[in-house]
Amino acid sequence: MACDLRGEDLSVNLEKYGPWALVVGGSEGVGAAFARKLAACGLRLVLVARKLRPLEELADELRTRSAEVRIASVDMGASNALQRVRAVTDDIEVGLLIYNAGANSTRGNFVELDPSVYRSVIAVTVVGQSEFAHHYGAAMCHRGRGGIVLAGSLSGYMGAPSLAPYTGAKAFSRVFSEALWAECGPMGVDVLHLCLGFTATPAMARLGYDLATAAHADLVAQEALDHIAEGPVWIAGGPQNRERARQRSIVDGRAQAIRAHATPAREPVSRN
Ligand X SMILES: NC(=O)c1ccc[n+]([C@@H]2O[C@H](COP(=O)([O-])OP(=O)(O)OC[C@H]3O[C@@H](n4cnc5c(N)ncnc54)[C@H](OP(=O)(O)O)[C@@H]3O)[C@@H](O)[C@H]2O)c1
Q: Is 30 in the site for ligand X (CB under 6 A)?
A: yes
Cα angle vertex 232, ends 226, 237, to 5°? 50
Q: Decide: 55 and 23 in contact? Cβ < 8 Å.
A: no
Q: Decide: 236 and 220 in contact? Cβ < 8 Å.
A: yes
Binding residue for ligand X, selected from 38, 49, 164, 225, defined by CB under 6 A: 49
**Closest distance to ligand X from the beta carbon of 70 (Å):** 15
Q: Please give the Cα distance from 32 to 8 (Å, whole number).
A: 16
Strand-pair partners of 21: 45, 96
Q: Please give the Cα distance from 79 to 20 (Å, whole number).
A: 24
Stretch that binds ligand X, among 12-20, 43-51, 106-114, 141-149 (CB under 6 A): 43-51
Strands (E), 219-259: 233-235
Task: Give me the 73-102 binding string for ligand X, x by CB under 6 A, dash otherwise.
Answer: --xxx----------------------xxx
Q: Please give the Cα distance from 175 to 241 (Å, whole number).
A: 18
Q: Which residue's CB is nearer to ligand X, number 49 or number 113? A: 49
The type of residue at 33 is A
Q: Is 151 in the site for ligand X (CB under 6 A)?
A: yes
Binding residue for ligand X, selected from 18, 31, 147, 237, defined by CB under 6 A: 31
**Closest distance to ligand X from the beta carbon of 214 (Å):** 6
| Helix 239-248 / helix 254-261 crossing angle, nearest 10 deg | 140
**Closest distance to ligand X from the beta carbon of 230 (Å):** 19
Q: Is 201 in the site for ligand X (CB under 6 A)?
A: yes
Binding residue for ligand X, selected from 51, 63, 65, 143, defined by CB under 6 A: 51
Q: Which residues contact ligand X (rule: CB under 6 A)?
A: 25-31, 49-51, 54, 75-77, 100-103, 124, 151, 153, 196, 198-199, 201, 203-204
